[in-house]
Amino acid sequence: MTLASGAVACGGSTVAAGERVFRDYHCGDCHSLKAGEDGVGPSLAGVGDRAARASGGAQSARAWLREAVVDPNQTLAGGAHRAHRGGASRMPDSFEAALTPAELQALLDFLQTLP
């Protein structure tokens, strides 16, 4: 199955696993999945397509999303409410250590499917 972002999903299992990672790590406490509903962090509605536009294509979109998760200061979304004083992201930069490689890949699969 080819997704809107150009990524290919292997069944729905990794996407469903990524949704569980999103829920289990409380990503929704700061990020809405509804368009236009920003919280502490930006809405993630359509983030796969936004990443593709920002990075120039589906292959690099995944790298852009990965960086946004593991090193959020590199891809800081606009808006003063999303940054601490000094311009740093409020998003923890500990997810690379906290997530297993499989969890991170599943989360990226999920993010790339968001309409």
Q: Please state the length of the chain.
A: 115
**What's the domain count of the chain?**
1
Let me know if residue 95 belongs to a domain: yes
- In DSSP notation, 25-80 reads TTGGGT--SSTT---SS---TTHHHHHHHHHTSHHHHHHHHHHHHH-GGGGPPS-G
CATH of the domain at 84: 1.10.760
> 4-30: per-residue pLDDT in tens?
333 334 446 899 999 999 999 999 999
Residue 27 lies in a domain: yes
Could you read off the pLDDT of 24-55 as tens digits, one per residue? 999 999 999 999 998 888 899 999 888 888 87
39-23-27-34 Cα dihedral, nearest 10 degrees: -30
Residue 94 lies in a domain: yes
Whole domain around residue 21: which residue ranges? 13-32+39-113
Instruction: Report if residue 8 sits inside a domain.
Output: no
Task: Judge whether 4 lies within some domain.
Answer: no
pTM for this predicted structure = 0.79
Residues 6+ apart with CB under 8 A from 97: none
